[in-house]
């Protein structure tokens, strides 16, 4: 698998970038976990983060009592390079007529609100809801970029947001969404 391809668009003080890499290796203050409502681990990104962090992460998550879709909770990072893990629950795609866009936008906003509250300066996001939850990647990418941009326009304490993609197709779509946002925001 190819790793660490990146694109950065100069906007919002160069604070948003897209990379193709592994979320668990990101050297940032916090990584975001695309979790399920139980926060007790699962497949994909969630499983990879739990495996890399170690069993202490699951122990702490058990004490959180789950998390509603669109919201976020925070734990320590344990064996990860990141000090924190922000767990957010994205929506399951049901055709787009059940508030999925709004819930996905809110998942990014909730995560960034926690980052701000905990004085986290750098955060890495996976593609929330684009795996097992089947959210269309291109649509999810546009929502992710818009949500992050909207948040960062009002906040200067978060210096870096990395959108981490696990494959070339996701990388291409998130990169295009970031470029499109930069071009129409000028």
Phi/psi region, residue 96 (left: phi>0; alpha: psi -120 to 50; beta: rest), is left
* Catalytic annotation present for 46: yes
User: Which region holds residue 134: left if phi is over 0, alpha if psi is between -120 and 50, else beta?
Assistant: left
Q: Which residue is catalytic, options 21, 46, 59, 180?
A: 46
The structure tokens 């055709």 sit at: 95
The DSSP bridge partners found for residue 164 are 19
Give catalytic residue positions. 46
């Amino acid at each position: 698998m190819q790793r660490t391809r990146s694109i950065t668009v100069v906007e919002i003080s160069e604070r948003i970038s897209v990379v193709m890499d592994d979320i668990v290796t990101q050297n940032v203050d916090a990584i975001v976990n695309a979790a399920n409502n139980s926060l007790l681990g699962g497949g994909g990104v969630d499983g990879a983060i739990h495996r890399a962090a170690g069993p202490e992460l699951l122990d702490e998550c058990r004490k959180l009592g789950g998390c509603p879709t669109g919201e976020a909770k925070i734990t320590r990072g344990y064996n990860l390079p990141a000090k924190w893990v922000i767990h957010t629950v994205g929506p399951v795609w049901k055709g787009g007529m059940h508030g999925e866009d709004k819930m996905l936008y809110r998942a990014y906003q909730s995560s960034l609100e926690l980052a701000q509250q905990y004085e986290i300066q750098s955060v890495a996001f996976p593609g929330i809801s684009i795996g097992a939850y089947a959210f269309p990647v291109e649509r999810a990418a546009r929502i992710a970029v818009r949500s992050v941009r909207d948040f960062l326009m009002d906040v200067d304490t978060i210096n870096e947001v990395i959108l981490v993609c696990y494959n070339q197709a996701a990388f291409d779509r998130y990169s295009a969404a970031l470029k499109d946002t930069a071009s129409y925001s000028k």
